[in-house]
Chain A
Amino acid sequence: MPYSLNEIEAMCKRATRGAGLPWGIAEEAGKASRWLASHNLPGPEMLSKLLALHQGTVYQDFTPVFEGTEFRPTSDTLCPLMAGAALIDRISEFPDGQHIEFKSIAYPILLAPYAAFCARKIGLQFELSWAGVRVIISPEGHLKIEGNTALITSPHSTSVVGRSSSTNTDFLPQKISSRDVDTEGWNSLAGFSSRMYAPATEASRKLGAG
């Protein structure tokens, strides 16, 4: 079913919070999924899989360890939402062209919207690469994917390298305003988001309802 980007953002934010991540991370995950959806990438779908992977753990287990120019996981896997937020927080520390490495990260495409913000902030294009795929984003938020595009939906990468670049790639502007989200992904997100809704009671209807 087609959803508006506003619905996608709201659902992804609530689902991320429902899965136990902090509000601020959830707000950013909502924006990130919206950005991916608006570039016709499977943001909500990948987020639903990531949240499923997080099940049964606490978010502290996903706090990245940062050293020098490298983000690595505290336990097995780096969470792209937490790592993306940390990348944004630190982007002004890195010199232009610096390689920044993300070790053992889940659903690396979820890093792309955070990289897009970095591109905007530093005014240079920013690229992410893993295995055989390169995702290049312009400061204006345009996107180009080179290499093996099937790897966009990789559930995991042992190493993702991010770096800014002063080259000017030819981008094809592509923005869409609503898109289909696959039913399985949407239902999974809805399941997570429902955890943050209080069951209605007669008392709450009487007292608190608008």
Chain B
Amino acid sequence: MRRLKRDNWTFSRPKFDINAKGVGVAVYSAHGPEHTYSLVCFAHDLPKEDRSDRVIAHAWDATFTLFDGVPNGEDIERLSQNVPKQEAGRISSNEISLSRANRSVRMFDYVVSCLAGGEQPDPEKIRSIGYLMRTTAVYGSGKFGAADREVICSRPEFNGPFQAEMLSVYLTRAFILDLVEHLAFKTAPETAVVIDPAIRRLFGVGNSTGLGMAPFIVNHPVLFNNWIAAREEALTRIRSLFTATLQEQSAFLDILARARLNVEGWRSEHPLQQKKLALLKTDLKDLEDYLEIDVLAQERPWNQLYNWAEENLSTEGQEQLVSLMLEPYGALVDDLSDHMGATEDKHFYIDGSKTLLATQSILEDIYDWALKTEWSAPDTVARIWYVSAEKLEPRLGERFDEPLEPYEQPLATGRDAALMYQDILTWNGGPLLADFLLEHPEHRHIARRAQIAAELPYAEIRDNTISSTLLPIDMLRCKLSFFGATHFDPRSDRWVRINMFQNAPFPHELKDHEEDDWTYPILNELK
């Protein structure tokens, strides 16, 4: 968003050909200094019984691709044969992403009916869901024939991770709002109105995320390290500040109040998550109370606040606090976002010239928790990550209930490190890692990870990813938070709905609106 505004990107809608039933095609183009990208949107008439957020679905309310340039008629024809099929179709290196979305039927119908009747939708009702459609997958990086990351990563706008996918979601939001207004006009041309701009901005784009995202953070250790390292460095910079100015104190109090309002909007039907959510709400109240003793006016205020939080808040509360502490200090931390990209290849190859003794010591350092774990206990290995033949997507099974072991994915890093360590202890061969791996190629995978984690401290999740107590949702939320998600509605321990770009200006508003102060709801703007 900062880049779009800074570089004066402009936006156009070269095509909007949608009928009264909501079926047709639309194109939204974003014009940057050197390149234009177009979201090609296909809107469908989806029978109710086919609407599913699961990855096993085969039809959706709307399907999208981000085209590199502006598509001509032939391109659109080709894409119309493929994009609606999603995983079953093929796109080309002219396309950068592939995604789909389903309506929140209740909200969608409500808004169309309000607008058709000449009325504005109720802000409170909007907040209860927050979006008209939710994406259920956004694919990039060469998936299904799309352009490889190498094709676009040297362009400044896509140098950072997931920027193309985020642009596609941002344009998707614009399409959805246009669609709902268009349908209202088709329904009642005499009475229909458009949405008031301030109410319009209350709509984000939902996203429904399942297990598929969890293995990503294990499979991209360098990227994951760089994300966490950026966050830790930001936190360190702020904790080191000797004082906070009155302006910074007031900015923090404001964002805290907005965060409290934000959390009020979270919904969960999952008992465990409901408990965590309740704790988070209490935490934020406690935090506000604690701030009344004027801790921010004291020396090293943020360090003091952080230390207090470690003693007094739940993990949810501590994490929220860290995010909020960054908010008044954009100028101090924003440069870190330039270091959140990664080239996994740079760290890919194993250095076999390391001695086994040094390797052993790395394992003891990185996987100390795993070396102390009793891996023969059924609960510690209860889960198993595998890939289904059905849609080739990652799933999590019960090791002892289903015959899945032959299909296990290499995502149990702690257990595998412990196995390698055992084999090193009984090794009688040469002194180098190269000697050991020649005989034990089954440990190459973990040898690579250990060497990466020895250099990059946040590359490895230092916990058991196959335990009976594993909560995959924590992995999903971690990744989604780096996409800017601040609103989480966990549906279970492995499925979460989020809302993105809520309160953000739309493309046509960017020129005249603040691009950087919308991640938390604005207080008292709309009753």
Kindly state the separation between the CA atoms of A21 and B445 in the bound complex, as whole angstroms: 12
| B164–chain A nearest beta-carbon distance, Å | 14
CB nearest to A24 among chain B residues: B444
Are B438 and A89 in contact (CB-based, < 8 A)?
yes
Are A85 and B441 in contact (CB-based, < 8 A)?
yes
Kindly state the separation between the CA atoms of A174 and B402 in the bound complex, as whole angstroms: 48
Report B124-154 CB contacts with A as 1/0, cut-off 8 Å.
0000000000000000011111111111000
B212 within 8 A of A: yes
* Interfacial chain A residues near B210, Cβ < 8 Å: 209-210
Kindly state the separation between the CA atoms of A162 and B433 in the bound complex, as whole angstroms: 22
Kindly state the separation between the CA atoms of A207 and B148 in the bound complex, as whole angstroms: 33
Q: Which of B25-33, B101-109, B193-201, B343-351 sits within the interface?
A: B343-351
Report A196-207 CB contacts with B as 1/0, cut-off 8 Å.
111111011101
B34 within 8 A of A: no
Q: Which 4 A-B pairs have the closest CB atoms?
A: A24-B444, A210-B210, A89-B352, A6-B142
B353 within 8 A of A: yes
* Interfacial chain A residues near B437, Cβ < 8 Å: 85-86, 89
Q: How would you classify the secondary structure of chain B's contact residues: helix, strand, loop or mixed?
A: mixed
Are B444 and A85 in contact (CB-based, < 8 A)?
yes
A-B contact pairs, 10 of them (CB 8 A): A4-B93, A24-B442, A31-B348, A88-B349, A89-B432, A197-B407, A198-B404, A198-B407, A203-B402, A207-B397
- CB < 8 Å: which of B141, B398, B494 contacts A6? B141
A194 within 8 A of B: yes
Are A204 and B402 in contact (CB-based, < 8 A)?
yes
Kindly state the separation between the CA atoms of A203 and B151 in the bound complex, as whole angstroms: 40
Q: Which of B173-181, B284-292, B386-394, B497-505 sits within the interface?
A: B386-394
A7 within 8 A of B: yes
Contact A210-B389, Cβ < 8 Å, known A177-B93, A178-B93? no
A42 within 8 A of B: no
Are A210 and B352 in contact (CB-based, < 8 A)?
no
Kindly state the separation between the CA atoms of A115 and B402 in the bound complex, as whole angstroms: 42
Report B431-461 CB contacts with A as 1/0, cut-off 8 Å.
0111001110111111110000000000000
B90 within 8 A of A: yes
Kindly state the separation between the CA atoms of A154 and B396 in the bound complex, as whole angstroms: 42
Report B209-228 CB contacts with A as 1/0, cut-off 8 Å.
11111000000000000000
Are A86 and B438 in contact (CB-based, < 8 A)?
yes
- CB < 8 Å: which of B213, B388, B446, B447 contacts A209? B388
Kindly state the separation between the CA atoms of A210 and B52 in the bound complex, as whole angstroms: 11
Q: Footprint of A on B, CB under 8 Å?
A: 54-56, 90, 92-93, 141-151, 209-213, 345, 348-353, 386-390, 392-398, 402, 404, 406-407, 410, 432-434, 437-439, 441-448, 494-495
User: Among the interface residues B141, B353, B438, B447, which one has the most CB atoms of the partner chain A within 10 A?
Assistant: B438
Kindly state the separation between the CA atoms of A66 and B429 in the bound complex, as whole angstroms: 13
Kindly state the separation between the CA atoms of A2 and B90 in the bound complex, as whole angstroms: 10
Are B387 and A197 in contact (CB-based, < 8 A)?
yes
Are B392 and A197 in contact (CB-based, < 8 A)?
yes
A45 within 8 A of B: no
| A97–chain B nearest beta-carbon distance, Å | 19
Contact A208-B396, Cβ < 8 Å, known A23-B410, A197-B407? yes
- CB < 8 Å: which of B93, B149, B353, B439 contacts A92? B353
Are A121 and B93 in contact (CB-based, < 8 A)?
no
Are A25 and B441 in contact (CB-based, < 8 A)?
yes
* Interfacial chain A residues near B349, Cβ < 8 Å: 88, 117, 121
Are A4 and B148 in contact (CB-based, < 8 A)?
yes
Are A177 and B145 in contact (CB-based, < 8 A)?
no
* Interfacial chain B residues near A121, Cβ < 8 Å: 349
Contacting B at CB under 8 A, from A4-36, are 4-7, 21-25, 27-28, 31
Are B433 and A197 in contact (CB-based, < 8 A)?
no
CB nearest to A7 among chain B residues: B142
CB nearest to A5 among chain B residues: B148
- CB < 8 Å: which of A3, A24, A88 contacts B441? A24
A77 within 8 A of B: no
Are A210 and B145 in contact (CB-based, < 8 A)?
no
* Interfacial chain B residues near A178, Cβ < 8 Å: 92-93, 142, 145, 147-148
Kindly state the separation between the CA atoms of A31 and B394 in the bound complex, as whole angstroms: 21
Are B353 and A194 in contact (CB-based, < 8 A)?
no
Kindly state the separation between the CA atoms of A62 and B338 in the bound complex, as whole angstroms: 44
* Interfacial chain A residues near B393, Cβ < 8 Å: 209-210
CB nearest to B398 among chain A residues: A207
Are A204 and B395 in contact (CB-based, < 8 A)?
yes
Are B445 and A24 in contact (CB-based, < 8 A)?
yes
CB nearest to B90 among chain A residues: A1
CB nearest to B433 among chain A residues: A89
CB nearest to B54 among chain A residues: A209
Are B441 and A22 in contact (CB-based, < 8 A)?
yes
* Interfacial chain A residues near B448, Cβ < 8 Å: 24, 27
A64 within 8 A of B: yes
Are A209 and B142 in contact (CB-based, < 8 A)?
no
Are A200 and B390 in contact (CB-based, < 8 A)?
yes
Contacting B at CB under 8 A, from A133-189, are 177-178
* Interfacial chain A residues near B390, Cβ < 8 Å: 200, 205, 209
* Interfacial chain B residues near A23, Cβ < 8 Å: 410, 442, 444-445
Contact A22-B444, Cβ < 8 Å, known A4-B148, A86-B434? yes
Kindly state the separation between the CA atoms of A66 and B432 in the bound complex, as whole angstroms: 13
Kindly state the separation between the CA atoms of A150 and B404 in the bound complex, as whole angstroms: 44
Kindly state the separation between the CA atoms of A85 and B392 in the bound complex, as whole angstroms: 28
Kindly state the separation between the CA atoms of A66 and B350 in the bound complex, as whole angstroms: 18
Are B145 and A205 in contact (CB-based, < 8 A)?
no
Are B445 and A5 in contact (CB-based, < 8 A)?
no
Kindly state the separation between the CA atoms of A198 and B395 in the bound complex, as whole angstroms: 10
CB nearest to B354 among chain A residues: A89
CB nearest to B476 among chain A residues: A210
Are B145 and A66 in contact (CB-based, < 8 A)?
no
* Interfacial chain A residues near B145, Cβ < 8 Å: 2-4, 7, 178
* Interfacial chain A residues near B434, Cβ < 8 Å: 86, 89-90, 93
Kindly state the separation between the CA atoms of A31 and B346 in the bound complex, as whole angstroms: 12
Are A210 and B495 in contact (CB-based, < 8 A)?
yes
